[in-house]
Structure 1
Amino acid sequence: MVCALGAAVCFGTASVLQAAAARSAEPGTGSGVDTALLWRAARQWRYVAGLALDAVGFVLQIIALRNLPVYAVGAALAASLAVTAVVAARVLRVRLRGAEWAAVAVVCAGLAMLGLASGEEGPGKGSLGLQLALLGAAAAVLLAGAACGGLPDRPRSLALGLAAGTGFGVVEVAVRLIDTVSPAELRNPALYALLLGGGAAFLLLTSALQRGSVTAATAGLVLGETVGPAVVGVACLGDRTREGLTWLAALGFAVAVGGALSLARFGEPPPAGDSPPAGAPAAPR
C-alpha cells in the first residue's frame, strides 16, 4: 500500500506539469489520437519531468500490483487527484475550498478502510482467453480514441478520458498476468496488451488535456482505471478481502473513488501563458 500511495504521489505531481505542457503545445488536427501532440509536448521540460515521475510511479505501481488486490491499487491510484489538488494549492497557489479539503480527507479515509480490509493478491494468473481479451481491449481503446476526433469538445473529453482510463486499467490487469521478465513472456499476449494499452492511454490523455473539458476527461479517467480492473480482479484473478471485511473494502473503494471524482475540477489547467488565479484548477494524471 505504501508503494501504491507513492505511485499516486508521483502521478498526481506529474499531472500538474504535464497538463500545463499539453495546453501550451501548438494545437494539432483535433484528432482523438494525435501522435504529433506527444512530440510537441515532449519538447517542454515540464512534460519530460512529468514523464520521469510517471516512470517512477509505474515501478511502484508494479510492486503494489504484485502484492495487493487490483481494486486496492486502483483506488489508491485514483487518489492521485487528491495529490494533484494539494500540489496545485502549493505550487500554483490554487485556493482549495473547505469542501475540497474535506474531499481530500474523504479520499484518505477511503484508502485507510481499504488498507484495513484488503487481503493479499488473488492466486489466479488468468487464462489465455483473458490475456487475449486484454489485448483486444487495448486495441479497442486506440480505435475508440481515433473515432473521437469529430465529437464536440465536452463529449470528446469525456470519451477520451474514459478510453485513457480503460487503457491504464488494461495495464493494471496485465501486470498481474505477466509472471516473470524473461524471453518466455514474449509469447504472452498480456505483455503486448500492457504496451499497447499504456501507449494508447498516454496518447488519448494528452489529447484530452489540450482542449475541451479536462474536468470531464478526469472523471472518465478515474472511472475507467478503477471500476473495470476491480471487477476483473475479483471475478478472474481471485482477489479477496480479509475475512468478514468485504463490506469495509467495498465502502472504502466507493468512498475513495467518490472523493476523487469530487476533485475532478483539478483536471482543468489555466490557459497557456496565464498566471493561475485564485481558485484556478490544475491537471489530472
Structure 2
Amino acid sequence: MIIGLVTAVAASVCYGTGSVLQAVGTRRSAREEVAARGAGAGATEHGGPSLSSTAKAAVTWEFIVGTVLDLIGFGLGALAARLLPLFLSQTIISANLVITALLSIKLLGLRLKQLEWISIGVLCGALVMLAVAAGPEGGHHAAMSFHWGLLIGSVVLIAGGSLIVRRLGRSGAIVAGLLSGLGFGALGVGVRILNGVDPFDLAQLLGDPALYAILVGGIGGMYLHTVALQVGSVNGATAALVVGETVVPGIVGVVWLGDTSREGLGWLAVFGFVLAVVSAVGVAYFGQSEAEEHGAQPKLPERAGL
C-alpha cells in the first residue's frame, strides 16, 4: 500500500509539472504563429486549433520536456494502478491539479480566484479521506469481452471526441479536457486488467486488446489535452481531465474488479470520491475566464481559414 501511495504521488507530480510545461509550449507556439502569419493563423473554420498548429505546439522544447514527464508519470501511474484500488490511485494521480495550479502561478503568471483555491483545498481534503478509507485492491482479471469492449470504447471515444472538439472550436476546452481524462481513465483500466504481465508472457501481452486500448487512450488523451491547453484555461482543462480519469475508472474498479474500502468506512470512500469530483468541477468552472484574461491562445476570429 505504501509503495503504491508513493508511486501515485510521484506520478501526480510528473503529470502536473508536465501539463504546465505543455501549456507554456502551446502558448509560445501560438504567439509565434500569429506573429509570423497574422491573426487567425492555425485556426479551423470553427475557431479552434488546426491539426498543424497542434503539431507545431508539440515540437516546442517545453512541450517535449512536459511529454517526457508525462511518460514517466504514465509508468509510475501504471504501477500504482496495479498496487492500489483504482478509485484511490486515479484520484491521487488526479491531484496533479494542485501541482498544475501552483506552477501556473509561477510559469504562466496566473492569479487564481479565491473560489479556485477553496476548490483545490477541498480536493486535497477529499484525497485524505480516500487514502484513509481505501481497503485492499481487487483482482486483475476481467472477461475477454471486457477487454474488447474497452478497446472499442476507447477508439469510439477518441475518434468521436476529436471530431466533436474540432467542431466546438474555442468553446471546446472543457469538453476536450474531459474526453482526454476519459482516455487516460481507459488507459488506467487497461493497465489494471492487462494480461501477460505477471508472469510475463509476450505472446499473451501482444494478443490482449487491453494493450491497444492503453495505446489509443494514452495517445488520444494526450492529443485532446493538448487541444484543451491551446484553447482554454490550463487549470480548467486539467480539472476537467481529473473528472474524466477519476470517475469512470473508480466505478469500473468497484463494480467489475472488486476494489473495496476498509470495513465500516465505505461511506467515507463514497463521500471523499464525490467531494473530489465536485471540487475538480469547481476548479474547471471558476477558472473558465482564465483563458481569456491571460491568453491561452491569441484571439482568433470566429471563422478563419488556414
Residues 1:78 and 1:99: Cα distance change in structure 2 (over 3 Å): same
Residues 1:193 and 2:217 aligned together: no
1:163, 1:224 within 8 Å by CA — same for their partners in 2? yes
Aligned counterpart, 1:129? 145
1:250 counterpart letter in structure 2: V
Residues 1:261 and 2:276 aligned together: no
CA distance in 1, matches of 2:296, 2:260: 45
Cα deviation for residue 150 of structure 1 reads: 2.2
Cα deviation for residue 34 of structure 1 reads: 5.6
Deviations 1:234-258 (A, max 9, x none): 1111111111111111111122222
Aligned counterpart, 2:9? 5
1:37, 1:206 within 8 Å by CA — same for their partners in 2? no
Aligned counterpart, 1:223? 243
2:54, 2:226 within 8 Å by CA — same for their partners in 1? yes
User: Secondary structure at 2:264's aligned position in 1?
Assistant: coil
2:12, 2:96 within 8 Å by CA — same for their partners in 1? yes
Deviations 1:96-151 (A, max 9, x none): 45444333332221111111111122024111111011101111122213322222
1:18 counterpart letter in structure 2: Q
Aligned length: 273
Identity %: 40
Residues 1:220 and 1:101: Cα distance change in structure 2 (over 3 Å): closer
Aligned counterpart, 1:18? 22
User: After the TM superposition, which residues 96-245 of structure 1 pair with which residues of structure 2 at under 5 Å, given as runs?
Assistant: 96-148=112-164, 149-154=166-171, 156-179=172-195, 180=197, 181-183=200-202, 184-212=204-232, 217-245=237-265
CA distance in 2, matches of 1:102, 1:93: 19
Unaligned runs of 5+ in 1: 275-285
1:8 counterpart letter in structure 2: S
2:94, 2:246 within 8 Å by CA — same for their partners in 1? yes
Cα deviation for residue 230 of structure 1 reads: 1.0
Residues 1:49 and 1:143: Cα distance change in structure 2 (over 3 Å): same
Q: Among 56, 60, 65, which residue is 1:44 paired with?
A: 60
What TM-score results when the alignment is normalised by the length of structure 2? Answer: 0.80
Aligned counterpart, 2:36? none
2:17, 2:100 within 8 Å by CA — same for their partners in 1? yes
Residues 1:59 and 2:75 aligned together: yes
Residues 1:172 and 1:37: Cα distance change in structure 2 (over 3 Å): farther
CA distance in 1, matches of 2:297, 2:144: 50
1:114 counterpart letter in structure 2: L
2:167 counterpart letter in structure 1: G
User: After the TM superposition, which of the residue ranges 130-139 and 91-100 deviates more from structure 2?
Assistant: 91-100
CA distance in 2, matches of 1:141, 1:233: 19
Cα deviation for residue 37 of structure 1 reads: 4.1
CA distance in 2, matches of 1:94, 1:209: 14
2:81, 2:90 within 8 Å by CA — same for their partners in 1? no
1:78, 1:257 within 8 Å by CA — same for their partners in 2? no
CA distance in 2, matches of 1:182, 1:19: 39
CA distance in 2, matches of 1:212, 1:205: 10
Unaligned runs of 5+ in 2: 34-40, 299-306
1:77 counterpart letter in structure 2: I
CA distance in 2, matches of 1:93, 1:215: 13
CA distance in 2, matches of 1:34, 1:189: 31
